[in-house]
Every structure is written in C-alpha cells, then in structure tokens.
Chain A
C-alpha cells in the first residue's frame, strides 16, 4: 500500500517539474518549426493557421500580384475592432452623454485621443483599401473559375464596410452625427418620392414606415441613437466577421488565389521566398525526394503546380506579419499627427452650411442633390447590382490571373478612363453652369426630375458605353473592364466634386478659400 502511494507522489512530482515542457508541447504539438515536416504540421494542427494551405503558390506571394490589399483591409479591420473596444469603455450612447463622453475620450482619458484617431482612421482607411482590393481582384479577372460566389460575398463586405463607417460617425452626437442621421433617415424614407408620385402614400407608406423603424420614432432622438449604436457595435461587426469567415473559407475551397495558366518563375522571386529544405526528419541526407501531392485544378496538376509552390510557413506567414506591422505602424503614425474631427454638440435647429457628409459619401451627396430617391437608393442599387453581376455576365476565364487581361484590356481601361473622366466632368460642368429642368421649367412634374437627372443620364451612358465596348471588341471581359473603370472614375470624380467643389448652399466653388464669409 505504502509503495503505491509513494510512487503516485513521485509521478506527480515528475509531472510538476516538467510542466513547462509538457504545457508548451501541448500548444505546439508538432515541435519547433525547424524542418519542413514540422513546418507543414504546424500549419494544419493550428486552428488559426489551418485556414491557409500548407503550401502557397509563388504567384500569390508576389507583392505585385495581390498588392497586399485584402490583407491590409483585414488588419485595418482588426485594428478598428480592438480600438473600438477601448472606446466603448467610456462612450455612452445617450443623447445627454454621448457628446460629452467623446469629448472626455478626446481631452481627458489617457491616450484617448490617439485611440479615437486610430479607430476613426483605420475604419476610413478600410473603405479605401477594400476598394483597392476589389480593383485588384477585378483587373486580374480573379472573380472567375469558381470565385463568382466569393465576389458576391466581397460586395456584401464592401457594403458592410460603408455601413460600419456610416453608423460610426453618428455616435458622437455632434453636428455631423445629427445631420447625417437626419439625412440618412430621409434617404431611407425616399420611396416617399415615388409613392407620392403614384398617389399611394396614404395606403402604402413604405418610406415612412422604414424611417420610423430606423429612428424608433418620428424625429431623430434617443431611440435613434440607441438603434444606431446597436448596429455599430453588434449587428454589423458580427455580420462582417461571419461573412469574412466565409470569404476566407471560400478562398481555400476555390483552390487558393488565382494565377495565370502559364506561370514562369522570375529571378526576383528568390528575394521573398526561401527554397524548400528537404533535409532532416523523414528526409535522409543521402537521398533526394520529390514531393507528390494532389492539387485542385482543371487537370490533375502534377509537376507545375507543385513545383511552383513553397511552404506557407515561413514564406506566407512572414509576408503577412510584415503587412500587419506596416499597417499598424502607418495607422498609428497617421493618428499621431492627424486628429479625427469633432464638431459642436448636435443642434436640431441649425444645420451647418454646407452640411457635408464624410468624404466617402460626398459622391452620393452630389447625386442626392439631383433626386433623393435616385441618388440615395436607385443609383447606388444599380451600381451594386452591376458590380455583383460582373462574374455572371462575363465568363471569359482565359485571362484569369493576368493584370488587365491583355494589351486590348489595357487599351480599354485607358480609353474608358479618359471617356469616363471627360464625360462625367462634362455632365457636372453642364449642370453647374446651366442648372437642370427645374431652373428652365419651374413647374415641371417631379417624376420627370426623378427619372431624368444628371445622375440617371450618367448611369444610362455607362451602360451604353459598356454594351458598345462588348459589341466592338466582341468580348464580354472588355465590356466588364469598361464598366468597372468608369465606376471607379465616377466614384472618384463625384467624391472630389462633393468634397472640394461644393460650398455653402451646395453652390459651386473652385476651392474652400472662395467660400463667402458669413
């Protein structure tokens, strides 16, 4: 009896003294990543790493291919999430306290201002980098070969990114928040414009009901702030996280990132990859081995595919770490020097003049200035629908993985860029110079203005231009390039117009220095 007791305690003592090693071993089950075998094992034994493949194609690692845009968007999101949690420690979503709590964060809380800047700028930067990422995916035809669904998921992510920013700047309850809330609530109510024209508002007031559900009342107040808060800190973050999970899972299932059919290694590739290390472990030093594996693809890819891949650990992970460090450093540095704006406390009696949305919505504000319904709902919906349908209307997958497809693609991009720029600036200049229907015929029915305004005319032109491109080139991919290029150009030009060229009363000015003093 005594003996067993003794040996039990001895066992315990041994376990206790080796707890450091055994604990560590249970975390890193495959041992230190010192050989290709353990580097492989760590990739599929680790929950966080197994989302990625054990091996990565060299094309994927070329910085000139992905430009790291999707990754930057991801890290910006993580930064925004973490900084957001810190802001929540002090922020209070009530109309009495919201503004003061944000002021506290800015001026009283240690590091509060920096944290708020980081949150604000990482969120806004997400918009830029998600758009850049979408641009890269588009111009490399990466929405094809099974990736159609992931492109759709991407569109949802784009919308969520905008919504997160939108709900975010409503929270401080300053002048910007309040008037943005008013304007958004009325954009939500914009179907009123249509039901009024049809004369059915009395029976079917879809605009009014949506607005009431959004505001939790008839005018923006405490219920509205509460709802916006619910969206910003819970519903939208949860949605973007889940959908981003699907996005990454699809990348895996779709066989990794796209790459050209004919892939040639370049000398420069060796600057960012380490060659396989087939020594040690199962590889005796006196023999050489070829790796055999099955890779997903059209043909059972044997030689090529396998040859042009390298281990994800360390090649991919080190690149990801670098992008993360770069993103974090850039956001913190920017936030150190540039402060997120905070206007005066919300004042329902007096809007600012001009009352401007943040820059990324000023393109829409310009369109809304022609018709609330078309600019706020019709045209954005049409643009999103057009983007969403791209992979289904263009199925020419032979260019997949090649920037701009071919020479013709580059030409179409450049021509569409020029046509888009000149055409849209022309349309805007005409409107600014001569006004629109109502300035010429003051009693024109509203329906005419809703249907025919500079925004809808431009939308029609873009559609015709894309169809014409398809007809002339005989290629749907060229039509897609025309459409997407003009979409980007339009977003940029409209945003610039709304940001720089519009002043008090939404009148035209060359720059802010010309605004009348009032």
Chain B
C-alpha cells in the first residue's frame, strides 16, 4: 500500500513522514542485525595447522604408498616423483579408501581413478593434490591449504 502511495502525486505530509520513519527504522534495524552477524564469523580458527611434516625424502622410495589417517592425506611415490592426494571426498566430505583401481568413498559411492579423477558416483570434483615443500632440515612438509594441479609430482634429494 505504501509503495503505491509513493508513486502518486498527492502524497500527504503525514504519509511522507510515516514512510520516512518506517524506512529509517527498517534500515537501522537491518544494518544493526547485519553488523552483528559479523560477530558470527570467527577471526581466528582454533584448528590444527594445515602444514605437517612427513619425514625425509629417503623414507619415500619409488613405489611407496602411505596413508596419513589423521591428516586425511595419501602420499605416493613413483618414477616421476612424490605427490600428496587428499582423502576427503569432494562430494560431502567422507574419507575415501584406496582400492586396486583408485579410490572409493563409502558414503554415496563416489569412485576416483589413481589420479583422483572422478570416474563414478556423485562427486563433483577430482580429489585435491597438495603442495609439498622441503624444510631447511631436509624433511618434507605437506600443506593441505595449498592445492596444486593434479599430476604435480615433486623430486627431492
């Protein structure tokens, strides 16, 4: 009703004042609520570091397959080098397990090939690959916050 009134020429002074009051109250209310909602978004995450050491390169000779359960990550080593693949299913976050043909998710049956590429089920994306660096002391550090293109393999000495 009030929006109709705005369009018309004969908007009375009382209507105008009323509308202004309601409008101001609405904007003020929404702004206050919106601002308060910022509180809900945490500035600090009390979470484990996304970087973790996995040991020296010589612990990963060609053909190694290691599962880091608590880090939700697989480490593989083949003739092209070392690589880290996430074990978190891209569908809804369950943990995939290693099979002869790739990875299998128990929750809704997503399947991935050994490169982590989706070959079945509802998963929308390939499994993530993580960046691997070498620390000054020579040990390898995986950072699960930094993803790299599938197929990125590292050679360390």
Instruction: List chain A residues, Cβ under 8 A from B105.
Output: 505
Size band of the A side of the interface? 35 or more
Would you call A131 an interface residue if the criterion is a C-beta within 8 Å of the partner chain's C-beta atoms?
Answer: no
Instruction: List chain B residues, Cβ under 8 A from A281.
Output: none
Complex Cα gap A504–B72 (Å): 20
Taking a contact as CB atoms under 8 Å apart, the answer to whether B46 and A217 are in contact is yes
Would you call B63 an interface residue if the criterion is a C-beta within 8 Å of the partner chain's C-beta atoms?
Answer: no
Taking a contact as CB atoms under 8 Å apart, the answer to whether A350 and B95 are in contact is yes
A369-B109 in contact given A218-B47, A221-B46 (Cβ < 8 Å):
yes
Would you call B104 an interface residue if the criterion is a C-beta within 8 Å of the partner chain's C-beta atoms?
Answer: yes
Interface centre among B93, B95, B109 (most CB of A within 10 A): B93
Taking a contact as CB atoms under 8 Å apart, the answer to whether B42 and A217 are in contact is yes
CB distance from A378 to the nearest CB of B (A): 13
Taking a contact as CB atoms under 8 Å apart, the answer to whether B108 and A365 are in contact is yes
B21-29, B118-126, B129-137, B146-154: which lies at the interface: B118-126
Instruction: List chain B residues, Cβ under 8 A from A507.
Output: 109
Would you call A506 an interface residue if the criterion is a C-beta within 8 Å of the partner chain's C-beta atoms?
Answer: yes
Taking a contact as CB atoms under 8 Å apart, the answer to whether A368 and B92 are in contact is yes
Interface string of A331-374 (1 = CB under 8 A from B): 00000000000000000111111110000000001001111100
Give the secondary structure class of B's interface.
loop
Would you call A219 an interface residue if the criterion is a C-beta within 8 Å of the partner chain's C-beta atoms?
Answer: yes
Would you call A442 an interface residue if the criterion is a C-beta within 8 Å of the partner chain's C-beta atoms?
Answer: yes
Complex Cα gap A193–B118 (Å): 14
Taking a contact as CB atoms under 8 Å apart, the answer to whether B46 and A354 are in contact is no
Instruction: List chain B residues, Cβ under 8 A from A506.
Output: 106-109
Instruction: List chain B residues, Cβ under 8 A from A209.
Output: 41
Instruction: List chain A residues, Cβ under 8 A from B109.
Output: 369, 505-507
Contacts of A425-446 to chain B: CB distance below 8 A: 435, 438-439, 442, 446
Taking a contact as CB atoms under 8 Å apart, the answer to whether A187 and B46 are in contact is no
Instruction: List chain A residues, Cβ under 8 A from B100.
Output: none
12 contacts between A and B (CB under 8 A): A185-B93, A192-B124, A209-B41, A213-B41, A217-B42, A222-B46, A223-B46, A348-B70, A350-B69, A351-B94, A446-B125, A506-B107
Would you call A303 an interface residue if the criterion is a C-beta within 8 Å of the partner chain's C-beta atoms?
Answer: no
Instruction: List chain A residues, Cβ under 8 A from B56.
Output: none
